[in-house]
Amino acid sequence: MDDKEHKLSLKREVGLMGAVSLIGGTMIGSGIFMSPQTVLASIGSPGASLVVWACCGLLVITVSFCYAELGTVIKESGGEYIYILRTSGPVVAFMLVFSSVMFVRPAGIVGISLSFAQYVVAPFYPECSPPVLVVKFVAAAAILTLAVVNSMNVRFSMSVQVFFMVAKVLALAVIIIGGVVMLVRGHNESFKDSFENTNLGINPIGIAFYQGLWSYDGWNNLNYVTEELKRPEKNLPRALLIAISLVTGLYLMVNVSYLAVMTPKELMSSNAVAVTWGNKVLGSWGWIMSVAAALSAFGSLNGTFFSGGRVCFVAAREGHMPEILSMAHVHRLTPSPALIFTTVISLVVLIPGDFQSIVNFCSFTAWFFYGITLGGLIYLKIKKKDLPRPYSVPIILPILVLFVAIFLVLAPIIDNPQIEYLYVALFILSGALIYVPFIHFKLCPGLLRKMTVFLQLFLEVAPADKNL
């Protein structure tokens, strides 16, 4: 009998191409097909909407540079959670992971799955809106399918991501080329007096940014899987720069194409902007855009699933979630218990889910914790100057983005207070109340231990070590 202890750890199987596909493939999802009309409706004019899209891209590139430094200094998976844990302490980190695992990540998965379902069923209901129940059933089927895919094999999941990344870039290329053709033919009415009727209120600007930034959501996904990334000190900053620059350029050109084909009024009244664009440009072949948008959302959903399960996994490894969620399958080396848990919570959130409110409240919560994370980077740059930094940014960058994060959190509340924002804030703070009895004092350990042993045997999983 071999007495040596065999330890499990997640493998480094994500190379530069897979990393770019994970970031870009998650970012290019439902947002660019669902948010343009809301951005335009909020800000009021075509010119200002293009400025919002460009500013969102610039903001995301800037904050991603800060995350690249964090990811090369703290080389652990987990994204914001692990960075806040190492810089702000366990209570704030638990508040993040509680909000993320119980609301933000599942709500993000639900938002993308709903937009996927909308585009899948749209061709079958050409004259009216599809029934809500049908849309939610299709969304649930997509969530369950990707739960199985991500639980089976990391390499297969990455192959799926690369395939859908290529498919969605081709779909956006079709939209861009169609828009260029329409502009050449003189369809530029939307760009005359393009800043007329611009809304300059704090709330419209904040909501427009929330909707635009939803389309860029996923830019930080690679930081959640650092331990599975090959040569993270080089590939992390490279992948961020390549993917986000590509996506920003594509988004700007796609929005120009939408406005070249549709009037602002047509764009704002469309439920599925890519389908409306397809019907006007491609005629009887307009259904192709519905398929392309569905494929795009499906690829984004896969990337969100891939990284979302890792948040649960890392938090459980640090003792902030049940121990079973920190385990990996003994043969497939995937964090299957964490993925199953994320799936269950997502299906629960799907029941009352509404796309627009999900976007606004997710963005509010996300930027609250982005601000805390950037505060942690500023702390490390001032107090921990001796830490090895393969990649570093000027301290002015995290300071500037921190101010933007504060604006995005406070703007909608100050200008147009809604009781829902209070509920979200109380939900975030409730994490601290749960932390004291269940994490600090470890209430009910016996029950959890029995459940862990049963699930460990049933799911064929074992504890996994850090892969640094």
Asked whether residue 354 carries a pLDDT value surpassing 70, the answer given is: no
Specify the pLDDT at position 355. 61
Whole-number Å distance between alpha carbons of 395 and 380: 10
Listed range (51-65, 254-268, 424-438) with the worst mean pLDDT: 424-438
For the segment 444-453, the average pLDDT, to the nearest whole number, is 74
Which of 94-98, 111-115, 447-451 has the highest mean predicted lDDT (pLDDT)? 94-98
Share of the chain above pLDDT 90, in %: 22
> What are the E-state strand segments in 290-448?
327-329
For residue 194, pLDDT over 80 is answered with: yes
Q: Residue 88 and residue 261: Cα distance in Å, rounded?
A: 49
Question: Tens of pLDDT along 68-88?
Answer: 999 889 888 888 889 999 999
User: How sure is the predictor about 337, in pLDDT bands with cuts at 50, 70 and 90?
Assistant: confident
- Inform me whether the pLDDT recorded for 232 exceeds 60: yes
H or E segment at 278?
helix 273-281
Distance between CA atoms of residues 356 and 324, nearest Å = 34
Q: Does residue 398 register a pLDDT over 50?
A: yes
The Cα-based distances of 75 to 23, 71, 126, 224, 431 in angstroms read: 18, 6, 50, 10, 26
Using one digit for the tens of pLDDT, what is the confidence trace for 139-178? Answer: 999 999 988 888 887 778 778 878 888 888 888 898 999 9
Place of tokens 């379902």: 117
Domain boundaries, the chain: 16-463
**212 near 39, Cβ under 8 Å?**
yes
Q: What is the pLDDT of residue 52?
A: 94
Q: What counts of helices (H) and strands (E) characterise the chain?
A: 19, 3
CA atoms of 74 and 77, how far apart (whole Å): 9
Residue 198's pLDDT band, with cuts at 50, 70 and 90, is confident
Q: Please report how the helices 355-383 and 90-99 are oriented relative to each other, as an axis angle in degrees rounded to 10.
A: 160
Query: Is pLDDT of 229 > 70?
Result: yes
- The residue whose two tokens read 């995937």 is 334
Across the range 439-452, mean pLDDT stands at: 74
Confidence of residue 5 (pLDDT cuts 50, 70, 90): very low
- pLDDT of 3 reads 41
Q: What is the pLDDT averaged over residues 440-466?
A: 77
The structure tokens listed for 220 are 């930080």
Q: Is the pLDDT of residue 51 over 90?
A: yes
59/404 Cα distance (integer angstroms):
8
Quick check: 420 and 357 in contact, CB under 8 A?
yes
Inter-residue contact 224 to 100 (CB < 8 Å): no
> To which H or E segment does residue 464 belong?
strand 461-465
Q: How far apart are CA 113 and CA 136, in angstroms?
A: 8
Does the pLDDT at position 386 exceed 60? yes
Q: What is the mean pLDDT of the chain?
A: 84
- Rounded to an integer, the average pLDDT of 272-279 is 83
Residue reference for tokens 């080396």: 333
Q: How far is CA 391 from CA 73, 78, 235, 394, in A?
A: 8, 19, 11, 11
Selected residue with higher pLDDT from 14 and 46: 46
Read off the pLDDT of residues 114-143 as tens digits, 9 standing for 90 and up.
888 888 887 787 777 788 889 999 999 999
Highest mean pLDDT among 192-196, 268-272, 340-344: 340-344
Average pLDDT score over residue span 334-354: 84
Between 381 and 325, residue with greater pLDDT: 381
pLDDT of residue 4: 41
What pLDDT sits at residue 445?
64
Q: 261-270, 285-294, 410-419, 442-451: which has the minimum mean pLDDT?
A: 442-451
Beta strands 461-465 and 8-9, pairing class: parallel
Fold category of 16-463 in CATH? Amino acid/polyamine transporter I (1.20.1740)
Is the CB of residue 430 less than 8 Å from the CB of residue 365?
Answer: no
The Cβ-side half-sphere exposure at 183, using a 13 Å CA radius, reads: 17
